Chain A
């Protein structure tokens, strides 16, 4: 893989990994056959020992090792099998910060802290030492600014230190972000062979701070191959119990719980918790019965609690011999929401984020206009898609970088799991590695080269995989031929240890117009696959069937129904096609998935033949349409000309009015360019003046810009792209270190609505990355924003780089801490105090 060097991981990362357990007992624990008792809170004990809140406890491993060993020893005496090193915050980022706060001249290295911490733990003579790894303390992109690779590097450094210090296992804990947990788990998988335990922390709403549920955590971490997964911190044991049960239902491995001793409160400067040891153990008991086999304590727990748990385990033992993962439904998940399919149910994978044959999507990907792509995702989700296929295969763009960016951007707007669709293994790896959840890979084929490249990725990163029934000889024409390829691929998956339910066999749809035997062969292949390869699922991209024939949707929907009958589980299709969705909706009545046909009735009651959309959307559309009709009736009786209506529509922020009046102007034969230059732009300018005078406020300015956009949209449909969208390119960014991007976003909206092509680089933008974009597209105007005095230097730095590498580019700046004088000081050409002013600058530079 040519590009794989830029992945932050050892080169042999995809080699299969064998967990090395210290002894036979630990092996039995990992097999779910024996219980294991961890220790309780470290912070609580340190507080009792007089450690002030706010000091970094990890440094005590170096400065006061006897105190730390005494705490470990107290837990060993209480009955802990495992003691956890005092290294929760011992990553390079936090250590630097802590050392600075403690006034240390030299920052201890991660290796030094882990060495000391493992020694402290060993000195207490426990059965096992768990190397503790907590969160980085920084949030990963897209909500935060830390990159996945940087998080990985921080964790990898800890893992290597723990391994070299001789820990028996790694426990990654108190994770709130499933992506951060994934970075830590991969760092552990790829840099050591120790058993990996990973737990997350949940709130009263049953979600982590970032919205992950116990099911999502169990599916994602289980797929990544951790040895034990579970819950720590969070709440008291009684409140954790239902969450643990939800996890057990989806976990392929033993489940662990380390709950808090209830809720904290501060009494006389000390943090105290409200659940006593006895009540704590009583609340843990039902969890043991439900199948939790590894327990311990977290905040507020002490050796007293652990002694109670020891007694509990002795009396309750491991009651849950086999874990209830018997039915093995198909399941994939995003960071917020799993999508699972029981045997016999059917699912919809939206196919629209694929540039092949889509002019606007191609253009959007070329110019990094991600909003358009995100809009496609939202539309498909609303229409009923359950997974989104994502393909960025365009020869002229960096597919790998684009896929990674799309994975990140899509998380912001959709909770649907993604299907990563590419022919380039390096692009697939880059995308699935940073995907916060369990994705599907599309695809592997029966070609040896493909099997060798793709299956290790699916196994290592815990993905489901689409298996195309083609090989070196092409697509077999018969059902038997396709089944034979499917069998070979499934055998290879079995060998890799990829679960049957994670293999989605695609028997490949061919056009009925070129070979009328094809439809039967496909359907028979689907049927045979389900019959002869128990456990695997089938998937089909359906629309090819109608290629070359008229009224394709009818053929597509009919074939889809036939395919469902033959045993198809998942259709890769356009969910915006009503006939497709009708077929899915109807089939779910016949297969019993739609119980009592409730969804069908809700969508179709009162619908007559020929009606084009489902009732749910109908209802809202109808009321919106009624309002629009009412609004346009007013303008129909309006004595003013369409041009006046466009102007007043823009001023009042009425998109519908502007769109209709613009249509009217076009049908009167008015030149599209004249509509833009003589009607829409002057109206926007007038809005700008009103804003400037303080008559209009920001929401009105933006509503007007939206209305004008509707007009531009109508014009663009009739005029060729070159006529109306050649107004010039502008690059925008909120500078490095700053995450306040609302002002930049307002400027972007207004500039776009004036017809400029805006390259929005986002927030916290690296100076060189910004300059690269300017150079790549030879952009004539750059806009930079900063809200903090502390980030203004990053603005100056970006401008300096621009002057050096893109001397043609003019620069405007804006933001709360800037004024004309500061703008000059940082080297900008223009100061734009608001969006309206930015539009005037753009007109001066570009028009």
Chain B
């Protein structure tokens, strides 16, 4: 890679940090009094024996989408790098919120399962309206939905974390519930996106 290309990529990462306005809403519920239905076996399994259920929504804001549109018309390479940086940033934000939830639980001697989002396993995207309504996320974060239940701003995450009285196996999400597992380039190389290990191919 030439130094110029590296500079351009760095500049896009900086631009992303500049434009992003991370914001989140977190709310914990008594597991017996959850105000919404979470359909599917996988989420039920995930939350089995949980005493609390934490819902959260996190977003980088509309500025990121606006910048992506601008780059689409002016700088294709920049758009791709910016998009990747923004995707990494929203995952980072979601992990940060998850870590905080985990810490809060640990202080009370409780344990968390990893964060589970609509679209994982058999939890359908159609649960998004109820999650956003429960968190008042449209009013508080500006998150809206398309008719196919995709969130706008596009760099947004909603997630569900179980708080349990007993330690939960594994902190990372698993390929077993991932709908992309059969297409996954990382898996073909023997790696997963949830692990910190480097892809096998580059070892």
- For A137, list chain B residues within 8 Å (CB): 138, 144-145
A269 adjacent to B133 (CB under 8 Å): no
Contact B77 A738 (CB under 8 A): no
Q: CB distance B5 to A703 under 8 Å?
A: yes
In A446-475, the 8 Å CB interface with B consists of none
Size category, A interface: 35 or more
Contacts of A312 in B (CB 8 A): none
Q: Does B139 contact A (CB under 8 A)?
A: yes
Q: Does B169 contact A (CB under 8 A)?
A: no
Contact of A142 (CB < 8 Å), options: B33, B69, B134, B142: B69
**Of all chain B residues, which has the CB nearest A748?**
B76
B36 within 8 A of A: yes
**A237 on interface, CB distance cutoff 8 Å:** no
B103 lies within 8 A of chain A by Cβ: no
Say whether B196 faces chain A, with CB atoms less than 8 Å apart: no
The reply to whether B146 and A739 contact each other, CB–CB distance below 8 Å, is yes
Q: Is A513 an interface residue (CB 8 A)?
A: no
Asked if B130 and A101 sit within 8 Å, CB to CB, the answer is: yes
> In the assembled complex, which residues on chain B have CB atoms less than 8 Å from the CB atom of A164?
none
Closest CB in chain B relative to A223 CB, distance in Å:
23
- Are A52 and B77 neighbours in the complex by a CB distance under 8 Å? no
Residues on the A chain within 8 Å of B98, using CB: none
For B136-149 the 0/1 string (1 means CB < 8 A from A) is 10111110111111
With known contacts A55-B35, A653-B2, A790–B148 Cβ distance under 8 A: yes
Q: Name which of A201, A211, A703 has the most chain B CB atoms within 10 A of its CB.
A: A703
Give the contact stretch, choosing among A78-86, A339-347, A371-379: A371-379
Report whether A654 and B138 are in contact in the complex, using a CB–CB cutoff of 8 Å.
no
Contact of B77 among A266, A694, A703 (CB under 8 A): A703
Chain B, range 22-70, C-beta contacts under 8 Å to A: 27-30, 33, 35-37, 61-63, 65-66, 68-70
Distance in angstroms from A824 CB to nearest chain B CB is 15
**Which residue from A101, A205, A749 sits with its C-beta under 8 Å from B36?**
A101
Given A53-B136, A138-B147, A700-B5, answer yes or no on A745-B29 (Cβ-Cβ < 8 Å): no
Instruction: Give the chain A neighbours of B134 by CB distance below 8 A.
Output: 53-54
**Residues B63 and A211 in contact, CB atoms below 8 Å apart:** yes
**Nearest neighbor of A150 in chain B, beta-carbon distance:** B147
Q: Are B144 and A269 in contact (CB under 8 A)?
A: no
Report B-chain residues with C-beta under 8 Å of the C-beta of A669: none
Q: Are B83 and A788 in contact (CB under 8 A)?
A: no
Task: Name the CB-closest residue of B to A744.
Answer: B72
Known: A54-B36, A176-B142, A790-B148. A702 touches B183 (CB 8 A): no
Checking B61, B65, B129, B183 against A816 with a beta-carbon cut-off of 8 angstroms, the contacting residue is B183
Mask for B117-155, Cβ within 8 A of A = 1, else 0? 000000001000110011110111110111111101110
A 88-113 to B, binary, CB cutoff 8 A, 1 in contact else 0: 00000000011001000000000000
Interface centre among B133, B140, B144, B150 (most CB of A within 10 A): B144
Q: Does B186 have its Cβ within 8 Å of any Cβ on chain A?
A: no
In the assembled complex, the Cα of A764 lies from the Cα of B201 at a distance in Å of: 36
Asked if B79 is at the interface (CB within 8 A of a chain A CB), the reply is yes
Q: How far is the CB of B203 from chain A (nearest CB, A)?
A: 14
The answer to whether A138 touches B70, judged by C-beta atoms less than 8 angstroms apart, is no
Q: Enumerate chain B residues within 8 angstroms of A266, measured Cβ to Cβ.
A: 27-28
A211–B139 touching, CB < 8 Å? no
Please name the residue on chain A nearest to B133 by beta carbon. Answer: A54
Contact present for B133 and A375 (CB under 8 Å): no
- Give the distance to chain B from A784, nearest Cβ to Cβ, in Å: 16
Residues on B with C-beta less than 8 A from A413 are: 69-70, 73-74
Per the 8 Å Cβ criterion, residues 9-61 of A in contact with B are: 52-56
The CA-CA distance from A413 to B70 in the complex, in Å, is 5
Per a CB cutoff under 8 Å, which of A208, A375, A816 touches B73? A375
Residues of A within 8 A of B76 (CB): 702, 705-706, 745-746, 748-749
Complex interface: chain A residues within 8 A of B61 (CB): 209
Residue A800 interfacial (CB < 8 Å): no
B105, CB-defined interface residue at 8 Å: no
In the assembled complex, how far is the CB of residue B49 from the closest CB belonging to chain A, in whole angstroms? 20
Whether A201 pairs with B133 at a CB distance below 8 angstroms is no
Q: Residue B166 at the A interface, CB < 8 A? A: no
Given the contacts A269-B29, A699-B80, A788 and B150 also touching, CB distance less than 8 Å: yes
Say which residue of A705, A737, A789 sits within 8 Å of B146 (CB atoms): A737
CB neighbours (8 Å) of B182 from chain A are 819
A622 to B92, CA, bound (A): 39
* B79/A742 in contact, CB under 8 A: yes
Closest to A370 in B: B73
Q: Do the beta carbons of B142 and A210 come within 8 Å of each other?
A: yes
B117 to A: closest C-beta gap in Å: 13
- B interface bracket (residues with beta carbon within 8 Å of A): 35 or more
**How far, in Å, is A511 (CB) from chain B's closest CB?**
36
Q: Is B15 an interface residue (CB 8 A)?
A: no
Answer yes or no: B1 CB below 8 A from chain A CBs. yes
Q: How far is the CB of B77 from chain A (nearest CB, A)?
A: 4
Chain A residues contacting B33 (CB-CB under 8 Å) are 52
Residues A412 and B150 in contact, CB atoms below 8 Å apart: no
Query: Does A629 belong to the interface (CB within 8 Å)?
Result: no
Chain A's nearest CB lies how many Å from the CB of B48?
A: 22
Chain B residues lying within 8 Å of A201, measured Cβ to Cβ, are 139
**Chain B residues whose C-beta falls within 8 Å of the C-beta of A412 in the assembled complex:** 66, 69-70, 72-73
- Compute how far the CA of A267 lies from the CA of B21 in the bound complex, rounded to whole angstroms: 26
Report the minimal beta-carbon distance from B78 to chain A, rounded to whole angstroms.
Answer: 9
Residues of B within 8 A of A374 (CB): 73-74
Q: Which residues of chain B from 158 to 181 have any CB-CB distance to chain A below 8 Å in the complex?
A: 179-180
The listed residue (B8, B66, B139) touching A233 by CB distance below 8 A is B139
Determine whether the beta carbon of B152 is less than 8 Å from that of A739: yes
For residue B129, which residues in chain A have a CB less than 8 angstroms away from its CB?
Answer: 97, 101
Bound together, the chains give a CA A375 to CA B36 distance in angstroms of 47
Q: Do A209 and B142 contact each other (CB < 8 Å), given the known contacts A698-B80, A789-B179, A817-B183?
A: yes
Give A451 to B145 CA distance when docked, in angstroms. Answer: 43
A151-B69 Cα distance, complex, nearest whole Å:
22
Among A802-825, those with CB < 8 Å from B are 816-819
Structural contact, B144 and A138, CB atoms closer than 8 A: yes
Does chain B have a CB within 8 A of A174? yes
Query: Is B4 located at the chain interface by the 8 A CB criterion?
Result: yes
B-facing mask of A684-705, CB < 8 A → 1, else 0?
0000000000100111101101
Chain A, Cβ-Cβ closest to B124: A790
Residue B191 at the A interface, CB < 8 A? no
Chain A residues closer than 8 Å to B140, beta-carbon distance: 264
Check: A144 CB closer than 8 A to any chain B CB: yes
In the bound assembly, the distance between CA atoms of A718 and B5 in angstroms comes to 29
CB neighbours (8 Å) of B28 from chain A are 266, 269
Could you tell me if B145 and A791 are in contact, using CB atoms closer than 8 angstroms? no
> Which chain A residues border B29 with CB–CB below 8 Å?
269
Does any Cβ of B come within 8 Å of A290's Cβ?
no
Contact between chains at A790 and B125 (CB < 8 Å): yes
Q: Known contacts A137-B138, A374-B74, A702-B77; is A143 also within 8 Å of B152 by CB?
A: yes
Residues of A within 8 A of B80 (CB): 698-699, 702, 742, 745-746
Asked if B110 is an interface residue, CB under 8 A from chain A, the answer is no
Residues of B within 8 A of A764 (CB): 146
A139 at interface by CB-CB < 8 Å: yes
Nearest CB of A to B127, in Å: 9
B167 to chain A, nearest CB (A): 25
B70 engages A209 (CB within 8 Å): no
CA distance A56 to B36 in the complex (A): 11
B5 in contact with A699 (CB, 8 Å) = yes
Could you tell me the distance between the alpha carbons of A378 and B141 in the complex, rounded to whole angstroms? 30
- 5 of the cross-chain contacts (CB-CB < 8 Å) are A52-B33, A211-B62, A413-B74, A738-B148, A738-B150
**Can you name 7 extra interface pairs (CB under 8 A) apart from A98-B133, A740-B154, A788-B125?**
A54-B35, A54-B134, A144-B144, A375-B74, A653-B2, A653-B4, A699-B80
A-B pairs with lowest CB-CB distance, top 4: A209-B142, A54-B134, A737-B148, A412-B69
Residues of B within 8 A of A (CB): 1-2, 4-5, 8-9, 21, 27-30, 33, 35-37, 61-63, 65-66, 68-70, 72-74, 76-77, 79-81, 83, 125, 129-130, 133-136, 138-142, 144-150, 152-154, 179-180, 182-183, 201
